[in-house]
Chains A and B, each alone.
Chain A
């Protein structure tokens, strides 16, 4: 007979005598946003983790049903995953373009790839930097942000914004890339690759960091697929699946790059270190793609001929793209009018977070911080 207290967790599970419920509350020093983790602890060991979200719910889906135009949804889509706005915009624009059954000019495709990959590097830099801070290493965070500033300079040059761009529109782009962008981007690629090596020397192969992240939060491949994890979470578990290669969109099939997969180098396959190293290596691959795309941009117009009021035929479509966090899906239903009937955003961070209670049973509190950091959530996306 197990002794229980009259205290219950929010799921109704009664606590045993030696257990304690503690809140890693909505405001954390870890820079992950407003996520509340209700942790049931037995000393230092985590018995159960119950994530609570909704603190950043901004009703993206309801808003999109009241827009007067399909283009007006783009700024809202930006603000979902605010660290990877370009990828969000592209996902939604792609969905509407497929509903409209139009092709965009080739110059647009190349620029979209360049922007998306630059954005991927910027987002992974934040993921890697904040993961270092979670582990107590304060310096890589600042080095990553210094490099990210260069990318933000490129974006500011193009569309004027540093974080939320409203750049990739349905049917094209809002502005063409300015003169000097190609050279500056090439200079950035050259500058950035040695910095990854510096980061690896400082953080990645550091014994203490490896000890804190290897064999922690092991996510087996079949559990990952059952929980529909995607992006570095899935690839860290050894499953080689990347939407840019396996369900291609844009002009990704014209470039040569590798899909990085975790190999269990430092511990078990699918641990936090594997997910982390997948992100670091993906940055290198993104630089490769950017260099190839910069060398091959065709000339042309950046806006296809679209009417001011976009009216797709009645129908529905689900389109998925690979954002830095995983598979971002947009399910757009159109009823033939200028307003979308239903836009559902399938956010990768939301889905990846659901597996957290599975993989964090039996770990310690410090490991919980490591696991949450390795999932790489952005609350804007989790809550929409």
Chain B
């Protein structure tokens, strides 16, 4: 299916939860509401004509307009089409609905996004830091992250 058809199907079923889209980019993307990601992704996975059963990558981005976003690259092993979803959320109250019940792989990807960018995923079964130590202050991949002076008594900048 072409990206336009996918967008139409999504708009038909979710209406206002589908925000903007950019279909003329080399990899067309669709922006969705951050509190409806789970329903939309279930729809994408389970609809016969779409069958997006493979979440290739889930990345977190700190955008230039100071919003945080999560980018979902999904692919269908049966229909062989791809689409990109984006969910934007404000910096201070970064909550996005978790899709770990849709694709099992999202579990660890979301934990990494939480660790690196500080985005809280609602309804995630086990949201803990994954790469940084549990008591690390701050979220390293944010653009305004300052390296802590001391961490557990060790001087960090050398």
Q: Specify whether A and B are partners.
A: yes
Across the interface, name the chain B residue whose C-beta is closest to A350.
Answer: B108
Which stretch, B13-21, B32-40, B48-56, B150-158, touches the partner chain A?
B48-56
CB atoms of B104 and A54 under 8 A apart: no
A296-332 near B? 1/0 per residue, CB < 8 Å: 0000000000000000000111101000000101010
User: Closest Cβ of chain A: how far from B93's Cβ, in Å?
Assistant: 22
Bound form: Cα–Cα A98–B25 in Å: 12
CB atoms of B26 and A331 under 8 A apart: no
A206 at the interface (CB under 8 A from B): no
In the complex, which of the residues B59, B128, B141 contacts A331, with contact meaning CB atoms closer than 8 Å?
B59
Whether A61 contacts B141 in the complex (CB less than 8 A), given A315-B26, A344-B59, A383-B131, comes out as: yes
Query: What chain B residues lie within 8 Å of A333 (beta carbons)?
Result: 61
B116 at the interface (CB under 8 A from A): yes
B106-134 near A? 1/0 per residue, CB < 8 Å: 01110000001000000000101111110
CB atoms of B53 and A225 under 8 A apart: yes
User: Closest Cβ of chain B: how far from A356's Cβ, in Å?
Assistant: 11
Q: How many residues of B contact A (CB 8 A)?
A: 34
Query: What chain A residues lie within 8 Å of B56 (beta carbons)?
Result: 228, 318, 320, 327, 329, 346
In the complex, which of the residues A226, A315, A331, A344 contacts B25, with contact meaning CB atoms closer than 8 Å?
A315
Compute the total of residue contacts between A and B using a CB distance below 8 Å: 81
Whether A11 contacts B126 in the complex (CB less than 8 A), given A228-B105, A315-B26, comes out as: yes
User: Closest Cβ of chain A: how far from B20's Cβ, in Å?
Assistant: 15
CB atoms of A228 and B25 under 8 A apart: no
Q: How many residues of A contact B (CB 8 A)?
A: 36
Whether A354 contacts B104 in the complex (CB less than 8 A), given A317-B26, A329-B57, comes out as: yes
For the complex with contacts A61-B141, A331-B59, 7 further pairs of A-B residues with Cβ separation under 8 Å are A61-B116, A62-B140, A228-B56, A228-B105, A318-B27, A318-B57, A351-B109
* A interface list, Cβ under 8 A from B: 11, 53-54, 57, 59, 61-62, 98, 223, 225-228, 239, 241, 246, 315-318, 320, 327, 329, 331, 333, 335, 342, 344, 346, 350-351, 354-355, 358, 383-384
Q: Could you pull out 17 A-B pairs where Cβ atoms are within 8 angstroms?
A: A54-B130, A62-B141, A98-B26, A223-B104, A226-B53, A227-B103, A227-B104, A228-B56, A239-B77, A315-B25, A318-B27, A318-B84, A320-B56, A344-B59, A344-B60, A354-B105, A354-B108
